Amino acid sequence: MSNEPHYLHHRQRLRDRFEKSGAEGMHDYELLELLLTYAIPRMDVKPLAKRLIGVFGSLSGVLDADMNRLERVRGVGPMTATLIRLVNQLYSTYLAENMKKGDVLSSPEAVLKFARVRLSGLKHEAFMVIFMNTKNEVIDYAMLQEGTVDNVAVYPRRIIERALARHASGLILVHNHPSGNPSPSKEDRLLTRDIASAARTLDIRVLDHIIVGKDGHFSFVENGMMPVTEK
């Protein structure tokens, strides 16, 4: 009989399945388990994978969690937390690069995917601006403000200053609702109007305001709520 730990054969079976078919047919905890094998070489990591999904509610919840929250889970050390955060950041960078390819108005899904990964898992409100040129191609993006669990201070003048510094001619506003419900508040509507009005005086277009939450997203354009401003 082999003296090798049983989990070594299980790990190999997971790798074989992934190499053959990718994530197709694998449970979320198995995908996370396979990832954990690269940070924890000498342990059965299936219980930890299931524990993490139990604590954070889903695989996406695990990947959205920050280092401190991850390390509070029994069995998760700095190396494991770093690997999980690295996967999140690699995916975010991948989506950011995809977003910069072509006219974002003709492929709005690229912006939405990036916005969700970047903001939807945060436990506090944050406000991001995506800057575009005259061809509606993404020049850059910036997280301008981060706030509390239900409030973030945003100043239209600072947004316009950042846009001018990048020679941007268009903006997409993005922020999150940690509560999960992406429906805009009265303050969200007023802020959108104020930013669009300030931008219009300098011939900068505000193309959309997207709110993301775990329950979905809300687009001002999709819902016919983008303010019409006069120069």
Count CA atoms closer than 13 A to 191's CA, side-chain side: 21
pLDDT in tens, 158-201: 999 999 999 999 999 999 998 888 999 999 999 999 999 999 99
Count CA atoms closer than 13 A to 225's CA, side-chain side: 18
In this prediction, what percent of the chain has a pLDDT beyond 70? 92
Specify the pLDDT at position 2. 53
Tell me the two tokens of residue 192.
Answer: 């959108």
Specify the pLDDT at position 178. 87
- The answer to pTM > 0.85 is no
Of 117, 175, 176, 108, the residue nearest 138 (C-alpha): 108
- Helix segments in the chain, DSSP class H: 6-21, 28-36, 46-56, 59-64, 67-71, 78-99, 108-119, 156-165, 186-200
Domains identified in the chain and CATH numbers: 6-92 (1.10.150.20), 103-219 (3.40.140.10)
CA dist list (Å): 220 to 86, 116, 210: 32, 16, 7
Question: 3-state class of 124 per DSSP?
Answer: coil
CA distance 25 to 88: 22
In this prediction, what percent of the chain has a pLDDT beyond 90? 58
Question: Residue with structure tokens 């898992």?
Answer: 121
Specify the pLDDT at position 122. 81
pLDDT in tens, 32-66: 999 999 999 888 999 999 999 999 999 988 998 88
